[in-house]
Amino acid sequence: MADPYLNPRFVHNAWYVAAWDHEIGAEGLFARQLLGKPLVFWRKADGSVVALDDRCCHRAAPLSIGRKEGDCVRCLYHGLKFDASGACVQMPGQERIPPNACVRSYPVVERDRFVWIWMGDAAQADATKIPAFFWHDSPEWRMKPGYIHYRAHYQLVVDNLLDFAHLSYVHPTTLGTANVAQVRAKVEPIDGGLRITRWSLDDDMPPNHQRVARFQGKVDRWQIYEWHPPAFMRMDAGSAPAGSGAPEGHVVPQAMRFRHTSVQTPETAGTTHYFFCQARAFELDDDAMTEAIFQDVSTAFAEDRAMIEAQQRILDATPDFRPVGTTHDQALNMARHILKQRLALEVAA
Amino acid sequence: MADPYLNPRFVHNAWYVAAWDHEIGAEGLFARQLLGKPLVFWRKADGSVVALDDRCCHRAAPLSIGRKEGDCVRCLYHGLKFDASGACVQMPGQERIPPNACVRSYPVVERDRFVWIWMGDAAQADATKIPAFFWHDSPEWRMKPGYIHYRAHYQLVVDNLLDFAHLSYVHPTTLGTANVAQVRAKVEPIDGGLRITRWSLDDDMPPNHQRVARFQGKVDRWQIYEWHPPAFMRMDAGSAPAGSGAPEGHVVPQAMRFRHTSVQTPETAGTTHYFFCQARAFELDDDAMTEAIFQDVSTAFAEDRAMIEAQQRILDATPDFRPVGTTHDQALNMARHILKQRLALEVAA
Amino acid sequence: MADPYLNPRFVHNAWYVAAWDHEIGAEGLFARQLLGKPLVFWRKADGSVVALDDRCCHRAAPLSIGRKEGDCVRCLYHGLKFDASGACVQMPGQERIPPNACVRSYPVVERDRFVWIWMGDAAQADATKIPAFFWHDSPEWRMKPGYIHYRAHYQLVVDNLLDFAHLSYVHPTTLGTANVAQVRAKVEPIDGGLRITRWSLDDDMPPNHQRVARFQGKVDRWQIYEWHPPAFMRMDAGSAPAGSGAPEGHVVPQAMRFRHTSVQTPETAGTTHYFFCQARAFELDDDAMTEAIFQDVSTAFAEDRAMIEAQQRILDATPDFRPVGTTHDQALNMARHILKQRLALEVAA
CA A145 to each of CA A238, A278, B4, B159: distance values in angstroms, whole numbers, following the listed order: 19, 8, 54, 58
Q: What percent of chain B has pLDDT over 90?
A: 87
Instruction: Please name the member of B313, B318, B326 whose beta carbon is closest to the beta carbon of C37.
Output: B318
Q: Does domain B15-122 have CATH number 2.102.10.10?
A: yes
Rounded CA separation B211/B186 (Å): 28
Q: Regarding predicted confidence, which is higher, C276 or C328?
A: C276
The answer to whether the Cβ–Cβ distance between A326 and B54 falls below 8 Å is: no
Average pLDDT, chain A: 94
Rounded CA separation B129/B127 (Å): 5
pLDDT digits 0-9 by tens, C112-123:
999 999 999 999
Strands of the sheet with B30-34, listed across from one edge: B30-34, B37-43, B49-53
Mean pLDDT of B240-245: 95
Neighbours of A173 (CB within 10 A): 12
Mean pLDDT of C237-248: 95
Rounded CA separation A63/A55 (Å): 6
Largest distance between two CA atoms of chain B: 77
φ, ψ dihedrals at A187, nearest 5°: -120, 125
Q: Regarding predicted confidence, which is higher, C173 or C293?
A: C293
Query: Which residues is B87 bridged to in the sheet?
Result: B102
Q: Which residues of A touch B38 (CB under 8 A)?
A: 314, 317-318
Give the residue on C whose Cα is nearest the Cα of B183: C93
Residues in B lying within 8 Å of A, measured between beta carbons: 33, 36-38, 53-55, 57-62, 65, 74-80, 88, 91-94, 98, 100-101
* Nearest CA among C288, C209, C267, C264 for reference residue C242: C209
pLDDT value of position C42: 98
pLDDT value of position C336: 95
Residue B18 in this model has a pLDDT that exceeds 80 = yes
Burial class (CB in 10 A: 0-12, 13-18, 19+), B97: middle
Rounded CA separation B264/B17 (Å): 8
pLDDT digits 0-9 by tens, A53-108:
999 999 999 999 999 999 999 999 999 999 999 999 999 989 999 999 999 999 99
Rounded CA separation B261/B266 (Å): 17
Residue A35 in this model has a pLDDT that exceeds 60 = yes
Q: For chain C, where do the domains classified as CATH 2.102.10.10 start and end?
A: 20-105
pLDDT digits 0-9 by tens, A305-345:
999 999 999 999 999 999 999 989 999 999 999 999 999 99
Check: pTM over 0.80? Answer yes or no: yes
Give the residue on C whose Cα is nearest the Cα of A33: C317
Residue A200 in this model has a pLDDT that exceeds 80 = yes
pLDDT value of position A1: 44
pLDDT digits 0-9 by tens, A158-192:
999 999 889 889 988 888 777 777 888 899 999 89
Rounded CA separation A10/A23 (Å): 24
pLDDT value of position B1: 44
Residue B293 in this model has a pLDDT that exceeds 50 = yes
Mean pLDDT of A134-153: 98
Determine the CATH number of domain B139-348.
3.90.380.10
Q: For chain B, where do the domains classified as CATH 2.102.10.10 start and end?
A: 15-122
Mean pLDDT of B294-308: 96
pLDDT value of position A214: 87
B54–chain A nearest CA distance, Å: 8
pLDDT digits 0-9 by tens, C97-111:
999 999 999 999 999
Q: For chain A, where do the domains classified as CATH 3.90.380.10 start and end?
A: 134-348
Q: Which residues of B touch A169 (CB under 8 A)?
A: 74-79
Q: Which residues contact B139 (CB under 8 A, 6 or more apart)?
A: none
Give the residue on C whose Cα is nearest the Cα of A31: C314
Give the residue on A whose Cα is nearest the Cα of C325: A58
Instruction: Please name the member of C170, C182, C324 whose beta carbon is closest to the beta carbon of A100.
Output: C324
Please count the residue pairs, one from chain B and one from chain C, whose beta carbons lie less than 8 angstroms apart: 84
Architecture of the domain spanning A28-123: 3-layer Sandwich (2.102)
Residues in C lying within 8 Å of A, measured between beta carbons: 5, 159, 163, 165-166, 168-170, 181-184, 306-307, 310-311, 313-315, 317-318, 321, 323-328
Q: For chain B, where do the domains classified as CATH 3.90.380.10 start and end?
A: 139-348
Q: What is the CATH topology of the domain spanning C20-105?
A: Rieske Iron-sulfur Protein (2.102.10)
C338–chain A nearest CA distance, Å: 19
> Using an 8 Å Cβ cutoff, are B120 and B346 in contact?
yes
Q: Which residues of A touch B92 (CB under 8 A)?
A: 165, 168, 181-182
Q: For chain A, where do the domains classified as CATH 2.102.10.10 start and end?
A: 28-123
Q: What share of chain A is helix, strand, coil (3-state, %, to 5)?
A: 25, 30, 40
Residue B177 in this model has a pLDDT that exceeds 80 = no
Residue C72 in this model has a pLDDT that exceeds 80 = yes
pLDDT digits 0-9 by tens, A42-52:
999 999 999 99
Rounded CA separation C118/C126 (Å): 9
For residue C236, what is the DSSP state?
Answer: E
Q: Regarding predicted confidence, which is higher, C175 or A116?
A: A116
Instruction: Please name the member of C314, C325, C327 whose beta carbon is closest to the beta carbon of A38.
Output: C314
Rounded CA separation A174/A164 (Å): 13
Q: Which residues of C touch A88 (CB under 8 A)?
A: 324
The answer to whether the Cβ–Cβ distance between C76 and B169 falls below 8 Å is: yes
Give the ipTM of the model, two decimals please: 0.94
Vertex B229 angle, CA B224 and B235, to 5° = 20
Mean pLDDT of B154-182: 87
pLDDT digits 0-9 by tens, C156-189:
999 999 998 898 899 888 887 777 778 788 999 9
Q: Which residues of A touch B75 (CB under 8 A)?
A: 169
pLDDT value of position B239: 94
Q: Which sign does the torsion angle of CA B178, B179, B184, B188 carry? A: negative
The answer to whether the Cβ–Cβ distance between A318 and B60 falls below 8 Å is: yes
pLDDT digits 0-9 by tens, B63-86:
999 999 999 999 999 999 999 999
pLDDT value of position C195: 97
The answer to whether the Cβ–Cβ distance between C55 and B182 falls below 8 Å is: no
Which of B187, B309, B324 is best to mutate for the C interface (most C CBs within 10 A)? Answer: B324
pLDDT digits 0-9 by tens, B310-342:
999 999 999 999 999 998 999 999 999 999 999
SS3 (DSSP) at A225: strand
Q: Per-residue DSSP letters for B35-78? A: TTEEEEEEE-TTS-EEEEESS-TTT---GGGSEEETTEEE-TTT
Instruction: Indicate the CATH number of A134-348 among 3.90.380.10, 3.40.640.10, 3.90.1010.10, 3.30.930.10.
Output: 3.90.380.10
pLDDT digits 0-9 by tens, A204-222:
998 888 888 889 999 999 9
Residue B349 in this model has a pLDDT that exceeds 90 = no
Which of A59, A67, A88, A271 is best to mutate for the C interface (most C CBs within 10 A)? Answer: A59
